[in-house]
Structure 1
Amino acid sequence: MPGVVGPLKRQLRSAVSDATLAASVHNSQPWHFTMIAQGVAVRVDPTLRPRIIDRQGRWLLQSLGAAIANLELGMRVRTGRTTRTQVFPDLDPHEAGAASGATATLTGAVVAVVEIADDARGDPLDDRLHTAILERRTSRGPLYGDLEAAAWDTVMAAASAAGDGWHIRALRPDPAQTAALVDLTRAVEARWRDDVAYLAEVQRWTKPDGGRGIPPTLIGPGDPSGNVPRREFAVSPTSPRRAPAPSGDTAAPSTDVFEVSPRLLVLAGAPDGPTTWVRAGAAMQRAMLAATAEEARVGFLGQVVEDDEARARAGDLLSLRDEALLQVLRLGAVDPTRHPRRSPRRPLREVLG
């Protein structure tokens, strides 16, 4: 870390630690950080991603964007100054979408640089979002109640303020749109569950390795009603049925009642390419932190984003016109008696250097 010394070095190191607590697809944590004179460079490791569901790198770069959002908050709160973030646009979306070109395009690439600016920070929401970093969890279980109107306003404002000029829009589907989105998601999930390669990949990510992956104890209960087509992790490549869970494992089949109609938050933006995917990840993370600050939880219904046809149909039903559907989040209250544990994390020494 040449050139970074004294209090700033400690502040930046702590901010990187904040960044490592961001959400990432399958808890893959595909990031690497390098301190520079007045900030931190963020690199992507494309080998750390599920390839079946993420052939284009959408989830990969949204995961990077989530880490960048936490990094920005950590740097601002810890230094008391504003930040400026440059997301590099030289990741060609056509190459990134090609099976043969994705790794060549993304390997070792500097995705963004976050630097300390001269002005004193002035956004009072920063402190609330930063405090929520330690408490945020990805919910894979039932979300029982809706958020208050003021809480929705906070979540949507946080998402929309992910970066100056980034033009990521947060919107709430109406009941008919919600039902259609859930149907599209259910259809994609059904197709995935017929894909042996997908099921094998899911199983690999439920065997944590080096602080990455989702332990079976964090998978959460199934939805016996079928109302919420969340991603099914407890499956076997040889059977479409839910695999039996070990004794005491929260992956066991459950009678928990999921919400009848999920409360969804959609992120949209343009153009539909790598730079926008990074920005969408930052908006996603800020929305999750704002929900956490409002004592709510957030999960994903992201399967619709993984399928080109379903994503296009979802854009049509939401009348997005020139915007692309980027992410679908599911928000709500949780059972206060349940305290979900955090998924494992890669050690700081492995991701900073």
Structure 2
Amino acid sequence: MNDIGTHATPRRARRNSTGPDLTACVRAATAAPSLHNSQPWRFRIGPRGVDVHADPRRQLDVLDPAGRELLISVGAALFTLRLAIRGAGYLSHTTLLPDPTDPDLVARVTVRRAMAPTPAAEALVAAIPHRHTNRWPFARSVVPADVVERLVDAARREGATLTVAGAVSRNAILSLSQEADRALRAKGRYRAELARWTSPHRGRRDGVPSTAIGPWDAMEIVPIRDFGLLQPHRGRAVAQFEPYPTIMVLATDGDTRPHWVNAGQALQRVLLTATWLNLATTPISQPVEMPAIRRMLTDSRTGSRAQMVLRVGYGRPAAATPRRSLTEVLLPADDEES
């Protein structure tokens, strides 16, 4: 996989013999989304680039026993790293799963020659700190067709497809999402796992804080995860959500580990593009966390596999979630281990 592609023409390359600030690029990558803000990634900075690792200690065993969502999260961080390098004025080359003997090494990103970023790439870089999962009601405004097409194109550029659900499909997907949410809440181990990622802890730099959870949908149309509350309607605000949300399904043409990583890259490109276009977004993962329901979202004509459901619209600003420090996610350089 090569450099971030854009429609715009790049300006003259800026010459910088020292290369990009890879520490700053890794810091940007840590702003990527992840399941329950688990941040299951680690990075090793080398002389020519960055190795991106999965952190299996942060895998959610109940929700994600196969590690699919873990690799989607790492893929989102990988795209953000590639984008940050591009924004710093350099091309890069990415090799997925470069070492068969090290399954946790997800990607190797090698910095190549200098080239000034396009305005579109700079816009995506500027969106990185403003992208937040929004679990609040959206406006009842329709997302324009040309805006939807930009999101579809963003997914296509990372080898995935993004499909807008029509009225019938939307209702079916929301119904399946509610069914999945109820089935998950009925599992004690699931509720315990959610509680571990939302328990208040002073100075905690991961998990979902109460400020980012959002209210419960009074009409129970949009399945906003309850984050471990045994009684979702108690101790949580209730609000009226939009009755006809814009729902999109992100899919890949296969369901292997590389497909999961690429799904994460496509997801992050879509989310950053949406942020750039002043859209709010909510990844809805419950229907793809239940194998039986996920199979219902498979396109029998093409065999594409659903990787994530997205809710898109115009909403109030969402709160940021905490991030681990660089010292927690940086692995020692190879020469430091010897």
Give the Cα–Cα distance (whole angstroms) in 2 for the partners of residues 37 and 89 of structure 1: 17
Match of 1:21 in 2: 31
TM-score by length of 2: 0.87
- Secondary structure, counterpart of 1:34 in structure 2: strand
Q: Could you say what secondary structure the match of 1:74 adopts? A: helix
Task: Show structure 1 runs of 5+ residues with no match.
Answer: 1-5, 92-103, 246-251
Equivalent residue, structure 2, for 1:242: 232
Contact 1:64–1:278 under 8 Å retained in 2: yes
Q: Find the counterpart in structure 2 of residue 348 from structure 1.
A: 326
Candidates 56, 65, 69, aligned match of 1:59 = 69
Aligned residue in 1 for 2:206? 212
CA distance 1:224–1:274, shift in 2 (3 Å): same
Aligned match for 1:30, one of 40, 47, 50: 40
Mapped partners of 1:7, 1:119: distance in 2: 10
* 1:113 alignment partner, SS class: strand
Moved segments of 4+, more than 3 Å: 121-124
Q: CA deviation at 1:149?
A: 2.4
Of the three residues 203, 213, 221, the one matched with 2:215 is 221
| C-alpha spacing 1:198/1:278, structure 2 compared with 1 (3 Å) | same
**Deviation by residue 1:170-196 (Cα, 9 ceiling, x = unmatched):** 221221111111111111111011111
1:218/1:17 CA distance change after superposition, 3 Å:
same
TM-score where L is the length of structure 1:
0.83
Summarize the alignment of residues 77-96 of structure 1 with structure 2, pairs less than 5 Å apart: 77-78=87-88, 80-88=89-97
1:135 aligns to 2:130 (yes or no): yes
- 8 Å Cα contact 2:216-2:233 kept in structure 1: no
SS at match of 1:146: coil
- The amino acid of 2:286's aligned partner reads Q
Contact 2:288 2:294 (8 Å CA) reproduced: yes
1:322 alignment counterpart: 303
Q: In structure 2, give the amino acid aligned to 1:171.
A: T
1:134 match: secondary structure: helix
Matches within 5 A, 1:100-249: 106=103, 109-118=104-113, 120=115, 123-144=118-139, 145-162=141-158, 167-207=159-199, 210-236=204-230, 241-242=231-232, 244-245=234-235
Residue pair 1:25, 1:49 contacting (<8 A) in 2 also: no
Unaligned runs of 5+ in 2: 1-16, 332-338
User: CA-to-partner distance for each residue in 1:108-153, whole Å, 9 max, x for gaps?
Assistant: x210011222362564421111100011100111122332223222
Amino acid at match of 1:350: E
1:182-228 CA-to-partner distances (Å, cap 9, x unmatched) read 11111111101111111111111102564110112221111010111
The CA distance in 2 between the partners of 1:348 and 1:7, in whole Å, is 21
Q: 1:234 to 1:217 in 2, by over 3 A?
A: farther
Compared with structure 1, are the counterparts of its residues 58 and 116 closer, same or farther at alpha carbon in structure 2 (3 Å cutoff)?
same
Percent sequence identity is 33
Counterpart for residue 4 of structure 2: none
- Aligned-partner Cα distance in 2 for 1:273–1:85: 18
Q: Secondary structure at the match of 2:322?
A: coil
Other-structure match for 1:269 = 252
Is the Cα–Cα contact under 8 Å of residues 171 and 266 in structure 1 kept in the other structure? yes
Offset at residue 39 of structure 1 (A)? 1.1
